[in-house]
Amino acid sequence: MDLLLMLLLLLWSSGLQAEDEHQSTEPVRLVGGASRCAGTLEVKQGEWRPVGYSGWTLKKAAVACRELDCGSAVSTGRRKESSDRPVWRIRTDCLQSGSTLRDCASSGSSSSMVELTCSDSVRLVNGTSLCSGRLEVKSEQSWSSVCEADFDQQDAEVVCRELGCGTPSVLQGALYGEVEAPMWTKEFQCGGNESALLDCRRSDSARRTCSPGKAVGLTCSEPVRLVGGASRCAGTLEVKQGEWKPVDDSFSDWILKEAAVACRELDCGSAVSTGSRDESSDRPVWWIRGDCLQSGSTLRDCVSSDSSSSMVELTCSDSVRLVNGASLCSGRLEVKSEQSWSSVCEADFDQQDAEVVCRELGCGAPSVLQGALYGEVEAPMWTKEFQCEGHESALLDCRRSDSARRTCSPGKAVGLTCSEPVRLVGGASRCAGTLEVKDGEWKPMSDSGWTLKEAAVACRELACGSAVSTGSRDDSYRPVWLIRTDCVQAGSTLRDCISSSHSSSSMVELTCSGQQGAEVRPTGEH
């Protein structure tokens, strides 16, 4: 009997020891914050050290929040110390492959540490960004989905605010996948002004199960805005992550392809132009990780803290866009009215209307106008016939009349291709000379790493055959475009891949095979 008792005591103490060892080897923690889901990020690999701040984004922070069994990543920032100390540096490429923070940590030293806030008890899962997904709520250390009938618009406003996102835009069951039990068994009764969902009043729900397809799927708008411009679709680009800050243009080489992400998040039209605004001194800004954005993430997911005196200026079209095209100058035409986008029927749109749209989007003249070029579309359809004269600056400035149709035959939604705003000037033909691109204004292309591969793209856009030769022309120091070669090599157009804030005295000279000896194109706008 005594022997049996001793064995039981021994097993019990071993279990406690094993539990203590398990707790002590938890490799990630947040310290010094208001809860276990906020504070300075530390990782244990032999010893506990803080994580050094180096381009830390919410996308990376989401990995830490998941490992901590906290909710969604809300904000990330840096904490400065007076001197360097040992830190862990996290390899981004390692983390993107699905590894853990601890697996991706290497030794280093820094005086800047990662500060991180995760939501305590709410998260959105399986979404396209940190501001969308199936809603889950944590109670007693387990996560539960919420039934659509126990959740309304005011509840959604609280969740979106708690996660640092914009206002709710879509609230619908099964948007982000089906889910089985467990289900949350309370009905939320938020007033809409609470700071956290679990601060809201709750009552027992009448249901213990939820019908298939009825688990809450929520999309919050992205916290992005343009300020100081002529409309809500133009101005200095700002993103909110904890606080509103402008986006830096000095290091990120901001291009129209990235600007298109911002225009989409703003529910504006297509990206028309991008530039920079210089201030007299540095101020806190967000720096956008281009590799993060190219992977399909949102602006907010890809920003990291920095300081700069150069800010991104951006213009999107207010109420016209081309979708599903091969570039920003091609796609199925959509027009915005009363906060919703509609396709246009081919019979209500002609060549003069197309000239206005191409000009409004900062593109060249219309080259193809044909239905179903860029995919079929269902309702809604635009119900007015456009009657542009061709000189208007925006499609919605044109006269309109009621259309005779309320539906559009399959394959008859307007597909439009505008020519790319590219030209060669000063050469023996329109297919030879100094390369210029228009993005708001015409500028020559800087001869910086320019190869026949990039030249072939220009010749193709000019309808000038193959690239024969490329060289450089020296001129006085002047504003130029710099090309992002990785963007062009991915199949984008020259205009989509140029960045501003550069000056040079060396310009690209280019000769294409087509139309040798043809009439010289004027150097003015066409």
Residue carrying the six token digits 């492959």: 97
Cis bond upstream, residue 421 (ω within 30): no
Identify which of 359, 324, 319, 368 has the alpha carbon closest to the alpha carbon of residue 342. 319
* Rounded distance between C-alpha atoms, residue 337 and residue 326, angstroms: 25
Q: What is the mean pLDDT of residues 467-486?
A: 90
Average pLDDT, the chain: 87
Q: How far apart are CA 363 and CA 389, in angstroms?
A: 18
Q: What amino acid is encoded at 41 in this protein? A: L
What is the reported pLDDT for 381? 85
The lowest-confidence range among 7-21, 73-87, 379-393, 487-501 is: 7-21
Helices marked H in 303-444: 351-360
One-letter amino acid at 507 equals M
Among candidates 197, 198, 207, 232, which has minimal Cα distance to 148?
A: 207
Whether 152 and 66 have beta carbons less than 8 Å apart is answered as no
- pLDDT tens for residues 245-265? 999 986 557 889 889 999 999
**Rounded CA gap, 321 and 394, in Å?**
12
Find the largest Cα–Cα distance for the chain: 109
Q: How many residues does the chain have?
A: 526
Superfamily of domain 28-118: SRCR-like domain (3.10.250.10)
DSSP per-residue codes, 30-48: EEESSSTTEEEEEEEESEE
Domain extents in the chain: 28-118, 122-220, 224-316, 320-418, 422-512
DSSP state of 492: -
Residues 427/428/430/431 CA torsion (nearest 10 deg): -80
pLDDT, tens digit, for every residue of 373-416? 777 666 688 888 999 999 999 999 999 987 666 677 778 899 99
The yes-or-no verdict on residue 209 having pLDDT over 80 is: no
Answer whether residue 526 shows pLDDT above 70. Answer: no
Architecture of 320-418 per CATH?
Answer: Roll (3.10)
Whole-model pTM? Answer: 0.84
Return the pLDDT at 269: 95
Superfamily of domain 122-220: SRCR-like domain (3.10.250.10)
Alpha helix positions (H), 153-230? 153-162
Does the domain made of 224-316 have the CATH classification 3.10.250.10? yes
**How much is the pLDDT for 92?**
82
pLDDT band at 208 (very low <50, low <70, confident <90, very high): low
In this chain, the answer to whether the domains covering 122-220 and 422-512 adopt an identical fold is yes
Residues 187, 189, 193, 196: what is their CA dihedral angle, to the nearest 10 degrees? -30
Give me the mean pLDDT over the 190-218 stretch.
86
Q: By percentage, how much of the chain surpasses pLDDT 90?
A: 61
Q: Which top CATH class is 422-512?
A: alpha beta
45 CB burial (10 A radius; 0-12, 13-18, 19+): middle
pLDDT band at 463, cuts 50/70/90?
very high
> Which of 221, 179, 223, 185 lies closest to 205 in space, CA to CA?
185
